[in-house]
Amino acid sequence: MSKCLFASILSIGAFFSSFTATYAEETDLFRLTDRAAPVGIGAREPSLATLPDGRVVLSWTEENGAEAEVRMAILDGSEWSDARTIHKSSKIYINWADFPSVAVLADGGLAAQWLKLNGEGDYQYDVNIAFSKDEGRSWTEPLVPHDDRSQREHGFVSLVPDQFGGLTALWLDGREYDSQTEGENFENAMQLRARQINSDGTMKPESLLDARACTCCQTSAARTASGDIVAVYRDRTADEIRDISIVRSTGGDWTQPLTVHDDGWEIAGCPVNGPAVDKMDDKVSVIWFTAAENKPEVYIAFSDDGGAQFDEPLRIDLGTAAGRVDVLQMPDGSALALWIEYVGGGEAIVMCHISRSTGCAAPQALHINRGGGSIGFPRMARGDANTFVAWTQPTGGGDGDTTIRMVEVAVTP
């Protein structure tokens, strides 16, 4: 164990032992301000995006009887817009790890994605994508980006806007999941697929990016200053090695998958714990969770050439990692990392400013959930000046009694 990592574990251990507040507090490095969102009863699974002027879009799901809603609101400074319904249906698929999101398009419009049940089974659903030109007040009829209409899984979507007002959608696709012969190398394989969608809703042909990916881990993708797409996901070999792979779209063509780092995590099941990627110009950072050799750890790796090559990864967790990661790339090549650690019977949301020279030198707990339920997958986004973090917050009632917690995070001098 490195001296830096050992010192960090001691520091965070002392901090956890003295941390008792359940609401935003000032920490050594990050100053937190609650931004109570206009959400309803049972709100959960938030996602964040940033408008060009720095306003922040929060999206989430709410269930009301037999129906569910995908909703959004916009934070402007300290003021929220009204909550706006993106889609409402009895067929919206609700899942703690595979949740809706909103992307901001180059022309100022919005795109939203969610999952819609297409059969009677628990894992039979399609991806739906809709567009809005008026900041979420009205939405187009949803389209389905995948040609396959079989009653299988299609989900874990990433939306990557282009410079023309359209986007590229990436998703995990189950069209071949149960169609192989027992013993085949690709038995019960989920695929990684992508499709470019123009601003008018027309679509180019699908692309198969990887014929065998991990079943139910989040994908993540970003577009670099050069226009290339960098996409990361948890791969799956025939020997059940489930490390993080990267594919890039350069000049319209997709590269072959490459492993970001050879962790060697052999696991005969999906850990439901995907990676995250972010970019600033052509600087790229990737963060991920692994439990190779039964050692739960979080790593980050940096690239200066749009994801073509990465430095050796840095371990940044504090010894009790649960993963569920997110990352923001900083202009100077550093990154802001977010992940979950288990502590004292609870879940701690840990944030750290990562540099290549010092790694995670000053980790801070933004919140510790000590009650029942889970905070799910916290998400981050840049605002005009600060960073915003949102997560599902159990309210202490029965199953499904949740709300959305959101804080604005400022780095103290």
Place of tokens 């009653």: 151
Name residues whose C-beta falls within 8 Å of residue 69's C-beta, 6 or more positions apart in sequence. 61, 62, 63, 85, 86, 87, 88, 92
Spatial separation of the C-alpha atoms in residues 14 and 382, rounded to whole Å? 29
Number of C-beta neighbours around residue 339 at 10 A: 28
Nearest 5 degrees, angle CA 92-CA 67-CA 347?
70
Q: Is the pLDDT of residue 364 over 80?
A: yes
Choice among 49-58, 64-73, 340-349, 404-413 with the minimum mean pLDDT: 404-413
| 35's tokens | 């931004």
Number of C-beta neighbours around residue 413 at 10 A: 5
Q: Which of 231, 327, 326, 228 is nearest to 281 (CA)?
A: 228
Q: Is the pLDDT of residue 123 over 60?
A: yes
Number of C-beta neighbours around residue 294 at 10 A: 7
Average pLDDT over residues 240-244: 97
**Inter-CA distances, 74 with 43, 54, 71, 83, 413, Å:** 16, 10, 11, 8, 28
Q: Which of 392, 336, 403 is nearest to 364 (CA)?
A: 336
Spatial separation of the C-alpha atoms in residues 268 and 65, rounded to whole Å? 36
The model's pTM: 0.92
Residue 335 pairs with which residues in a beta bridge?
329, 354
**Interval 193-229: pLDDT, tens:** 999 999 999 999 999 999 999 999 999 999 999 999 9
The DSSP code for 241 is B
Q: Is the pLDDT of residue 6 over 70?
A: no
Spatial separation of the C-alpha atoms in residues 45 and 391, rounded to whole Å? 7
Q: What range does the domain containing 12 cover?
A: 3-411
How many separate domains does the chain show?
1
Name residues whose C-beta falls within 8 Å of residue 364's C-beta, 6 or more positions apart in sequence. 15, 27, 28, 29, 30, 350, 351, 352
| 183's tokens | 């013993």
Edge-to-edge strand list for the sheet holding 190-197: 154-161, 167-173, 190-197, 207-213
Place of tokens 């609101």: 73
What are phi and psi for residue 237, nearest 5 degrees? -85, 170
What CATH number does the domain containing 72 carry?
2.120.10.10
Per-residue DSSP letters for 45-63?
EEEEEE-TTS-EEEEEEEE
Average pLDDT over residues 216-243: 96
Return the pLDDT at 27: 52
Return the pLDDT at 400: 67
Name residues whose C-beta falls within 8 Å of residue 104's C-beta, 6 or more positions apart in sequence. 49, 50, 51, 52, 57, 110, 161
Q: Which of 350, 357, 358 is nearest to 28 (CA)?
A: 350
The residue type of 77 is G
Residue 47 pairs with which residues in a beta bridge?
59
Number of C-beta neighbours around residue 179 at 10 A: 14
Spatial separation of the C-alpha atoms in residues 328 and 123, rounded to whole Å? 32
**Interval 48-85: pLDDT, tens:** 999 999 999 999 999 988 999 999 999 999 999 999 99
The torsion region of residue 145 among left (phi > 0), alpha (psi -120 to 50) and beta comes to alpha
**Inter-CA distances, 293 with 89, 266, 297, Å:** 43, 8, 10
CB of 118 within 8 A of CB of 110?
A: no
